[in-house]
Amino acid sequence: MNLLNFVKEFFKEEKSKGMITSVISFSAANVLNIFLNTNLQMDIQKSTFLSLYLFGNILAYSLDIVFAKEKLFVNNKYGKVPLNDYGTRTKFLANSFFNKYFARYMILGIIDSIIGLILLKFLINLMNKYELLMDWKYRDVIIAAFVVTFTYQLYLNHLRFDWAYEYNENFLLNIIIYIWFTLIILIVVRTDTSFNNTMTDSKAKKYMQDKKFDI
């Protein structure tokens, strides 16, 4: 009986309900990642981005709004909306794709995906270097699932409720996350060799054209 009461009390919190929505979205996204990577032979980074980071995050956001988030801004007021009022919640969800809630969530998703994909590439290269589980076709998707779980629990699981879904502004947190987002984008641009090569090639081509060399 005490265990039952504990479970009931635990899942009263919106973040606890969010754990259930996360498990559902994560499971569905992993199935999609397995299909894309093993059946369609898609590159693991591309399949992970499309399934776990894009599809999974959008599904998680939708489930959070409809089934987990307690307070919503509806009818010009911010307050609790009954969890069984699916009409109001679905309407809010549809409108939220065009306002700050979804935009903030996607900023967190972009940060998460950049960090996660870099970590995924590093771990796979490390496994390849030491020839670990080379013949197991599910190796890469298992690594991807581990990476996504790690980064999601590290910060995204908390920041989505404390920042992305929050109606009241937290200016300090806004500044920290926007700076974090900007720094990650700058680091990727500066360290991405394909981007730098493209920029170098385009500059060289323009130079040749300005000097009227045949190209």
CA distance 67 to 29: 18
Domain boundaries, the chain: 2-194
Q: Which residues in 157-182 are b (16+ Cβ under 10 Å) and which e?
A: bebbbebbbbeeeeeeeeeebeeeee
Cα 27 off chain centre by: 14
Cβ 29 vs Cβ 133: under 8 Å: no
CA distance 18 to 10: 12
pLDDT digits (tens, 9 = 90+) for 159-211: 999 999 999 999 999 999 999 999 999 988 887 765 455 545 555 455 545 55
List of residues 6+ apart from 81 with CB closer than 8 A = 70, 71, 72, 74, 88, 89, 92
Establish how many alpha carbons lie within 13 A of residue 31's alpha carbon, considering only the half-sphere containing its beta carbon: 5
Per-residue pLDDT of the chain (215 residues), as tens digits, is: 465 565 566 567 888 888 899 999 999 999 999 999 999 999 999 999 999 999 999 999 999 999 999 999 998 899 999 989 999 999 999 999 999 999 999 999 999 999 999 999 999 999 999 989 999 999 999 999 999 999 888 888 889 999 999 999 999 999 999 999 999 999 888 877 654 555 455 554 555 455 554 44
